[in-house]
Every structure is written in structure tokens, then in C-alpha cells.
Amino acid sequence: MTAYLDNSATTRPTEAVIAAMNEAMREGYFNPSSVYGPAVEAFRHLRACREAILKKLSAPEGTKVIFTSGGTEANNLAILGTVEKMRGKQLLAVNALEHPSVLAAYEKLREMGHEVRVIGADREGEPDWEALGKALEDGASLVSFMQVNNEVGAVLDFRRLRDLVAGRALIHVDGVQGFLRETFSMQYADLYTLSGHKIHAPKGVGALVMRKEVRVAPAHIGGGQEEGLRSGTENTPGIAGLLAAIEEMDASGLMEKKLYMAKRFREAVPEAMVNGPAPEKGARHILNMSFPGVRGETMLHALEAEGVYVSTGSACSSKKRKVSKVLLAMGIEPDRAESAIRFSLSPHTSCEEIDQAADALQKIYPQLRRFQRR
């Protein structure tokens, strides 16, 4: 038996998702831009997915859903596209704990001559609200804060963010780790991004959700699909899978599983330390723990040998780094950050998988600890 506890990296498509995609490829393969009957039906399926997303986000009338290839493209379109439509050099603010697809976009804007304020965070992932307030007073026009941190599970206080911004800037929220696992409403953001493969839909499909008054420059030009912001024939099988995933996603029992996992892991390794918010205060599907004296990469491979799959942080950057930049930005000591492991759940994770991981930790940690660097 294997225990898959890396659902923040990607999730396994469900049978309903696979069936929806299969039907879209076998029967509904028509181009939704064409005007004959079967193509119009394909277009209706796209519309149904947009409507499902808008309903889940309690979006006001006129809110747009732009389909993309995933969260990275959606974040790039949201950030680079909005700033391109602004006049002159801008002051921008971004959370220090953001995903690389967000931070890299802001770094590009900095290289283009815009001023970028990086807003720090404390050891629980709480933003430096005072620093953000100062950036807004100085004229920040766009701010980006993720709904759920992908490494430690810190949850954004989006009400406080909206009240602080108070209409002075556009608010972009990266919802890739939050969509359908934590509640959110578009009344708290101007731009919101999501990715299908984090919620049991396939890879290669995501969306940018944007309020109707927001102006965004296109990332792709050509046939004018997706409100002219993302030309190219839509990924109809992927969108069909996304709709199926949205319709069946139920995260109601995730927090109970997470708290059970935290309890079992602490019993297995009493020395283990939680990084970020306390388990009951963070997102219901992410738990980050450090195992003193054992490098995260070493622990990862030892767990793999026991049939347990985890990660040391963001899957998009884990092959490029030794220590999590997110944990360091939170003020976590380098040795502790180097020994961190992220465990992440889905609604389909079983207690048996958690037990298997706990038993593996109890077995291998004492063995690995003996080889601690001195």
C-alpha cells in the first residue's frame, strides 16, 4: 500500500473527471467557436464550467472567467496583464511568501522599472499589515496575497486585506491552494486565480476570475477567444474535467483528517515541530513539520522507501533549492527549515494512509537521527 500525502503538488483525477474528459474527446470534440449544433453544445459546456466557478466564488454579476493552462499562466495574466494596462511606472506590493509564479512576475515588473514592495510575514505566515498599509499610503496600485500558502497552509485574512486596501488598489488573490478547500467570495478580490490539478481535475487547465471593471492586457493574441485575453482554441476536455471536479469536490472532512494526522505524527516523533500556524488555525489540508537533525530531502526519500509520498515544499521549485525560501522569509531558522516536510491531504486521503505515514516516521526517524551532522 502507498500513502500519497502530496496533494498540494497535484491530485489524482477522479473517475468522474476521467469519464467527463473521455466523453469530451470521443463525443464532444467539436470546436466551441464553430456555429453548428454539436459545436454550440461544446460551447455550452464551457459556459457551464464558468457558471460553476462563479457560483462557488459567490461572484457578482458581470464577473468574468478566463480559462488558462493553469495557475502559473493565470497568475502571470493577472499581474502582468493589469500592470500593462496602467499608465506610467507603478508602485506594487506582493507578499514575501507567494508562489514562484507570482514572485517571478513581480520581479519582471521590477526589471521593467516598476517599484515593488515585498511585504514580509511572521512565523505563522501572517502578513506585515503595517508595511502593506504604508505601501498603500504611498500609492500602491496592485497587491498580491495568496489565499492559502502552499507550503505552510497559512490562510489569508481576506476581509482585513479588503478593508485595508479600501479600493485604493487592485487586489489579486492566488487561490490555487484555496479554491474549494477554503471558502472565498469575489467581493474580497478583483482578480482570483485557480488551477484544476489541485482539485482532482487534470493538469493543463486553470482560470483567471476577474471583476468586470478590471482591465487586463492579453497574454496571447489571435482568434480572440476568452474575451480576447487568451486566444487559442479552448481545452475542452480539460474544462470538462474541471467542471466534473468542481461538481464533486467536498472538503468538509479535511480538517478532522489534518488534526488526526498532526496528532499521530506528534505521537510518532515527539521532537517534530509544526511550521506556520497551529494545525487548527491553518488550511484544512496542509501540515508542515520539521524533524530536527534530519534533512528534509533525506526524510522524503526514506519515507518513499516506506511507500509514503510527501514533499519538502513547492513542487515548482523543490528541485532548485535546498532550503525553503518561504520558511526563511517567515523567520524560521535555517536548520529547522532544512528539516521541513510538507504533508498535504485531499478529500480522498484515508486514515489508513495517515497511519502508514505515522508508523513510517516512528520507524525511520530514530535511525536517521543517529546520522545527524555534528
Tens of pLDDT, residue by residue over 56-109, are 999 999 999 999 999 999 999 999 999 999 999 999 999 999 999 999 999 999
Host H or E run for residue 230: none
Look at the block and give the residue holding cell 484544476.
Answer: 196
At residue 240's C-alpha, the angle toward residues 238 and 242, to 5°, is: 70
245: which 3 cell numbers?
Answer: 471536479
Tens of pLDDT, residue by residue over 284-295, are 999 999 999 999
The residue-averaged pLDDT of 290-319 equals 87
Helices (H) and strands (E) in the chain, counts: 12, 12
State the pTM of this model: 0.96
Of 231, 272, 275, 277, nearest in space to 362 by CA: 272
pLDDT of residue 318: 47
pLDDT of residue 270: 98
The active-site residue out of 52, 217, 255, 316 is: 316
The residue-averaged pLDDT of 276-283 equals 98
181: which 3 cell numbers?
Answer: 478547500
What is the per-residue burial (b if ≥16 Cβ within 10 Å, else e) of 75-94? bbbbbbbbbeeeeeebbbbb
Look at the block and give the residue holding cell 479554491.
Answer: 179
Residue 49 bears catalytic tag = no
Q: Is the dihedral of CA 310, 254, 185, 156 positive or negative?
A: negative
Neighbour-count burial of 310, counting CB atoms closer than 10 A to its CB (0-12 exposed, 13-18 middle, 19+ buried): buried
